[in-house]
Amino acid sequence: MVETGKLIGVTVLGATGSVGMNTLDVLARHRDRYRVVALTANTNAERLFTYCREYRPEVAVLGEAGAAARLQERLRTAGIATRVLNGPEGLEAAARLPEADYVMAAIVGAAGLLPTLAAVRAGKRVMLANKEALVMAGRIFMDEVVRHGAELLPIDSEHNAIFQCMPPHSIDGGLDRIGVERILLTASGGPFRTTPPADLEKVSPEQACAHPNWVMGRKISVDSATMMNKGLEVIEACWLFRTTPDRVRVVLHPQSTIHSMVEYVDGSILAHLAAPDMRVPIAHALAWPGRMHSGADSLDIVATGRLDFEAPDLERFPCLGLAYRAIEAGGTAAAILNAANEVAVQAFLERRLAFTEIPRVIESTLDSVALHESDALETVLADDAQARAVAARMVSRRTPRAAP
């Protein structure tokens, strides 16, 4: 619990990504309540320097040691006392800082698992935007939350919406205890919701990253285009809300106005509506259980006009089906799925793999890598590494057919 009258210290893991930048935007609007304790980035030293100059954090972290040393010298020359760390150890140190009350976990991909776990083990309020932490190691992660008394608040707009549609303090109780029938996880359908399947083979990275409603990083934009992002969110929802995949239904909702819904056993459905702006869930998690201004525009419900819904087409979006397969298989299947997806998406972004090959690489990797129980972090990381190696070999065998 934060002392009354004390500024709340916040660490932002992944400060130069879209969620990190939106977090800093919200924090800047409430400097009377929060102070930035630590900021991390992978390679974007220039933006991190700008943020250090503006927010004066105690610690900054970059991925590579040489880049961190150069940033340290620039900060020293500018008269800024921020201490610069580097690498995975630096990330975990930033996540554990005693001065940080809250940690925004916004590092994209598997790289976010260990620093997010470090924040959990330090008993922080963890605002979880890194879904891979739960996808890869859900059982371990949730057990550690309980063991160390951490406070876990979801930042993905869908999971934050579900959280808001449930009774307060119910996230650990399971759905039956609070009378929930099922979770309705909404999805925009991305840029290819109506594209003829025959045309998908030749889509370019630029087309895949052109999301109709959200501004996101390139990797998550491709995941939205394949609907793997929604599949990962199904897995995340199962862990966050202590449920099974048969009680998480994906519903296409192209307007992205309803961010998700919760259906109760009495027939009621509660929905969360807001403009498609990540500052809404970020502000909610920062202020919870209270509320504060996010900077987002209010939703004009009259101008919205209509709300459409449809079932997802698994033939068009095979990645969604693969995610359901992984969570039902259990063990390290979800970690293998995530690893293969990261390799395939990166290859697509580098124009070494066609868009339609992404699910084929993932499926082949799931078929090739043996599953293990996921009760030890070392096992999860070992299967993650093996899946990446297998997926990389599969990518290398495929002739690139992506658009120029």
Q: Which amino acid is at 162?
A: I
pTM of the model: 0.91
> How is residue 53 written in tokens?
């100059």
Average pLDDT, the chain: 93
How confident is residue 84, by pLDDT bands cut at 50, 70 and 90?
very high
Q: Which domain holds residue 371?
A: 176-397
CATH, residue 18: 3.40.50.720
Q: Judge if 261 and 119 occupy the same domain.
A: no
In a domain, 63, yes or no: yes
Q: Judge if 274 and 333 occupy the same domain.
A: yes
How confident is residue 404, by pLDDT bands cut at 50, 70 and 90?
very low
280-308 burial, b for 16+ CB within 10 Å, e for fewer? bbbbbbbbbeeeeebebeeeeeeeeeeee
Question: What pLDDT was estimated at residue 194?
Answer: 86
pLDDT exceeds cutoff 70 at 97: yes
Q: Judge if 181 and 149 occupy the same domain.
A: no
> How is residue 92 written in tokens?
């975990």
Q: Judge if 236 and 359 occupy the same domain.
A: yes
pLDDT tens figures, 137-171: 999 999 999 999 999 999 999 999 999 999 987 66
Q: Judge if 142 and 190 occupy the same domain.
A: no
Question: What pLDDT was estimated at residue 173?
Answer: 67
In a domain, 166, yes or no: no
How confident is residue 351, by pLDDT bands cut at 50, 70 and 90?
very high
Q: Judge if 219 and 287 occupy the same domain.
A: yes
Return the bridge partners of 270, or none. Answer: 262
CA distance 58 to 69: 16
> How is residue 247 written in tokens?
């009680």
Integer angstrom CA distances of residue 26 from 164, 194, 287: 19, 35, 11
Q: Judge if 203 and 343 occupy the same domain.
A: yes
Q: Judge if 194 and 296 occupy the same domain.
A: yes
pLDDT exceeds cutoff 90 at 260: yes
